[in-house]
């Protein structure tokens, strides 16, 4: 029986790598699949991981109807056994319902991968609906780490290294770490440092300040 499975985790926990591995495992056994993604770091129409692997993918737009897209593909003579759906947090609740329909009505497995919560610690609509509808929700076991070394559980948005908690839910930015030249960046933090708004950049600034001499040296 076909299943809708949601693999969830924070940034940097290997979601896209697992999506690529899942596609490889199924395709190597002769199963026929289709890959979807949205806002991938490598650009449109590709699913990539930080390990340098990538495969072509269908870019998910706001007006994409998953069920109709698959029905049209099958009607044209295509065959499908499974879908890989990366960055599923960005999908609309209606699109998640369409994926459930693909599973139940068309008998096609759907493996969705995504972040559970946004930079405000609020559920993404797509992730929330996946939790409600999926046959299984699996939290990824690869632990992303906060700058302090503790397990990272929260996704933080930064501007110039400073953490922000207001703004649009979806803003594409750099995920290479805080304090970079890009205006908007993301990093993962433990709950304690998320609540304290202590990012990599602010922690580094505090460290430098604590090592500054408490007096100034005057020239002779």
Q: Which residue has 């591995």 as its token pair?
A: 21
Q: What is the CA radius of gyration of the chain?
A: 20
Taking each helix axis as running N to C, give the angle between helix 66-75 and helix 93-106, from 0 to 180 degrees, rounded to the nearest 10.
Answer: 40
50: left (phi over 0), alpha (psi -120 to 50) or beta: alpha
DSSP for 145-206 reads B-TTSSBP-EEEEEETTEEE--S-S----B-S-TTSSSSEEEEEE-HHHHHHT--HHHHHHH
CA–CA dist 85, 92 (Å, integer):
13
The tokens describing 62, both together, are 């706001």
Determine the Cα angle at 135 with ends 140 and 50, to 5°: 30
Task: Tell me which of 3, 54, 59, 87 is the catalytic residue.
Answer: 87
Q: Is 143 a catalytic residue?
A: no
CA–CA dist 40, 158 (Å, integer):
19
Pick from 80, 83, 45: nearest CA to 61: 45
Q: Enumerate the active-site residues.
A: 87
């Amino acid at each position: 029986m076909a299943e809708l499975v949601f693999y969830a985790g924070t940034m940097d926990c290997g979601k896209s790598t697992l999506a690529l591995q899942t596609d490889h495992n199924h395709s190597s056994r002769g199963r026929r699949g289709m890959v979807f993604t949205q806002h991938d770091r490598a650009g449109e129409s590709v699913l990539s991981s930080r390990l340098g692997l990538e495969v072509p993918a269908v870019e998910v737009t706001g007006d994409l109807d998953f069920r109709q897209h698959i029905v049209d593909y099958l009607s044209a003579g295509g065959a499908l056994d499974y879908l890989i759906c990366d960055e599923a947090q960005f999908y609309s609740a209606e699109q998640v319902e369409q994926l459930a329909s693909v599973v139940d009505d068309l008998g096609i497995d759907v493996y969705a991968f995504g972040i559970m919560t946004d930079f405000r610690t609020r559920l993404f609509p797509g992730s929330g609906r996946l939790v409600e509808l999926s046959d299984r929700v699996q939290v990824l076991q690869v632990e992303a780490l906060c700058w302090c070394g503790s397990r990272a559980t929260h996704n933080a948005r930064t501007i110039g290294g400073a953490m922000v908690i207001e703004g649009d839910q979806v803003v594409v930015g750099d995920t290479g770490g805080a304090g970079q030249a890009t205006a908007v960046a993301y990093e993962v933090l433990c709950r304690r440092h998320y609540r304290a708004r202590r990012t990599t950049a602010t922690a580094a600034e505090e460290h430098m300040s604590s090592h500054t001499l408490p007096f100034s040296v005057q020239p002779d």
